[in-house]
Amino acid sequence: MSRLVVVSNRVPAPAKGKVHAGGLAVALQAALNARGGLWMGWSGVSSGAREPGAMTIRQEGPITYALTDLSRKDIDEYYAGFANSTLWPLCHYRLDITDYARKDMAGYFRVNRFFARQLGPQLAADDVVWIHDYHLIPLAAELRRMGVKNRIGFFLHIPFPPPDVFFALPVYATILEGLADYDVVGFQTRHDADNFAACIEREGIGSLKERDTIETRGGGRVKAGVFPIGIDTRGFEKMAADAVDNPAVRKIARSLRDREVVVGVDRLDYSKGIPQRMQAFERFLRDNPAYKGRATLLQVTPKSRSDVPHYLDMQREVAELAGRVNGELATLDWTPIRYVNSSINHSILAGLYRLAKVGLVTPMRDGMNLVAKEYIAAQDPADPGVLVLSRFAGAARELQSAILVNPYDTEAVSQAIAQALSLPLAARIERHAAMLRHLRRHDISNWCDAFLDALATTAA
Ligand code: F6P
């Protein structure tokens, strides 16, 4: 079997036995644990003003980690700049906060070239290369320029916007051509794949030959398929069932007394709709005063990308909002919103999901959202909680038995919380069972196999 080589911007520090929070890292860890292989990416460390030295190679079980540092300038221009101030908001349909600077764009292409130069010498002729996410779109083109002939696939974890949004990016054509350099380009949903195909056709970079196959101007072929990412469903079910006895989870449960828990878990990111969710919860309490003192929103929100200005603004906005709602509604023995700004161990998180009556997952736009899937897997099938899910999360295409909401409609989300809390047991069981069945069939190894099978059947 060929060796699998995975490349992603974020690579968790190798630590045996530890499960890492964050969708992409957890998913890739599971995929690589099952197959073994090389995982290359940024160490998360800055080399300051100096150019980064040679990669650090470490073997941990079946995974060889190849980690590179990045200079301060690289981090500013490539990571905080073009990736997270330009591509991220653009792909989440936020043209209003999409910043663009040529210096950042140049830094993005420079770091991709640097990744290619580091990775190239590590590759054997029959390695299968799988590149992840918006940070590394031009990497295949850079590797091809160096003469690399291996099969190379790309998976986009975030949404792909429609042409009228994407074409606002000054270098949209180069980015599209970069995607057309892969053998397989994978998207989370049909909607994303269609948006990509529409961009390619409108720009004349290629044309759709048959469903999911694009023929490029130069005569090459790209498979542009739909591969909705999953979770380790059985593993998470077990983790959540075991977590019931975890002393930390018991302590949290005691502190919540017998209140109805509504849980939200997100990185602190404007795409996640956290302020809108808090407003909807406030609205729910005002419209359903019987729940005052009886329901608590537990919002777990680790800080994220704090060196990007819009994220700093968000930190302030959310903290102020939680403070205002609590100031206006709290009583001496009840806090309506428990807002926690740190990250939480994965198994404690699984326990929190299980004790929550409602999982409130209401991003304004999201590639997939694995919290929604984890919430379902964590429930007790005999007495499950209810998922309230944004229509604009990729997960909504699969989890149709959730209560689907438009997160821009505060009253609708407030009503959905009330509906979720009053749903009879039989209806809860039926909705949950349908979604769990789907998640068991479409789990992380299924995602990985489907993508790698598609890549294996392309002509190298
Ligand atoms: O899912 C999108 C993503 O950017 C991943 O690539 C990344 O692992 C995660 O969000 C967390 O973001 P960051 O690496 O910027 O902290």
Asked if the model's pLDDT at residue 260 lies above 70, the reply is yes
Region 423-443 average pLDDT: 98
The whole-number pLDDT of residue 18 equals 45
**Are 112 and 252 contained in the same domain?**
no
Asked if 47 and 107 sit in the same domain, the reply is yes
Same domain? 181 vs 310 = no
With beta carbons less than 8 A apart as the criterion, state whether 310 and 85 touch.
yes
Query: What's 187-221 look like in SS3?
Result: ECCHHHHHHHHHHHHHHCCEEEEECCEEEECCCCE
pLDDT(21) > 60: no
Mean pLDDT across 127-134: 98
207, 201 in Cβ contact below 8 A? yes
Return the C-alpha torsion angle 117, 127, 140, 142, nearest 10: 20
Assigned token pair, 103: 């210096």
Whole-number Å distance between alpha carbons of 92 and 435: 26
- Residue 43: which domain range? 4-230+444-456
User: Residue 148 corresponds to which amino acid?
Assistant: V
**pLDDT confidence of residue 19:** 46
DSSP string computed for 349-378: HHHHHHH-SEEEE--SSBS--HHHHHHHHH
Q: pLDDT of 375-417, one tens digit each?
A: 999 999 999 999 999 999 999 999 999 999 999 999 999 999 9
- Would you place residue 17 in the very low, low, confident or very high pLDDT band (cuts 50, 70, 90)? very low
Banded model confidence at residue 15, pLDDT cuts 50, 70, 90 = low
Q: List pLDDT tens digits, range 174-189.
A: 999 999 999 999 999 9
Side-chain-facing half-sphere of 158: CA atoms under 13 Å: 20
Q: Indicate whether 180 and 262 sit together in one domain.
A: no
Q: What pTM did the predictor assign? A: 0.96
The alpha carbon of 367 and the centre of ligand 1 are apart by a number of angstroms equal to 11
Is residue 207 domain-shared with residue 287, that is, in the same domain? no
Amino acid letter, 194: D
Distance 184 CA to ligand 1 centre (A): 21
226 shares its domain with 337: no
Measured in Å, residue 249 CA sits from the centre of ligand 1 at: 27
Please write the tens of the pLDDT for every residue from 105-126.
999 999 999 999 999 999 999 9
- Marked catalytic residue, from 157, 432, 438, 442: 157
Question: Each residue of 136-189: pLDDT tens digit?
Answer: 999 999 999 999 999 999 999 999 999 999 999 999 999 999 999 999 999 999
Average pLDDT, whole number, for the chain? 95
Residue-level pLDDT at 257:
86
> Same domain for 135 and 222?
yes
Q: Are residues 310 and 189 in the same domain?
A: no
**Same-domain pairing of 319 and 410:** yes
Domain CATH number, residue 21 = 3.40.50.2000
- How many structural domains is the chain composed of? 2
Contact 279, 264 (CB under 8 A): no
Together in a domain, 199 and 257: no
Backbone φ and ψ of 130, nearest 5°: -125, 110
> Which of 133, 139, 308 best tests ligand 1's pocket when mutated (most atoms within 8 Å of CB)?
133
- At residue 459, the pLDDT reads 62
Catalytic residue among 74, 104, 232, 366: 366
pLDDT score at 20: 46
CA nearest to 66, candidates 77, 52, 56: 56
**pLDDT for the residue numbered 33:** 87
Element (DSSP H or E) covering residue 269: none
CA–CA distance, 1 with 396 (Å, rounded to integer): 35
Is 24 a pocket residue for ligand 1 (Cβ < 6 Å)?
Answer: yes
Parallel/antiparallel/unpaired status of strands 260-265 and 295-300:
parallel
Residue nearest atom 15 in ligand 1 by C-alpha distance: 305
Q: Which helix (H) or strand (E) holds 8?
A: strand 4-10
- For residue range 292-344, what is the model confidence (pLDDT) as tens digits? 999 999 999 999 999 899 999 999 999 999 999 999 999 999 999 999 998 89
Rounded to an integer, the average pLDDT of 333-359 is: 95
Percent of the chain exceeding pLDDT 70 equals: 98
Residue 386 and residue 255 in contact, taking contact as beta carbons nearer than 8 Å: no
287 and 360 in a common domain: yes
Residue with the bigger pLDDT between 206 and 131: it is 131
Active site residue 366: yes
Query: Are 118 and 196 contained in the same domain?
Result: yes
Q: Among the atoms of ligand 1, which is closest to the Cα of residue 132?
A: 6
Cβ–ligand 1 distance for 442 under 6 Å, the answer no
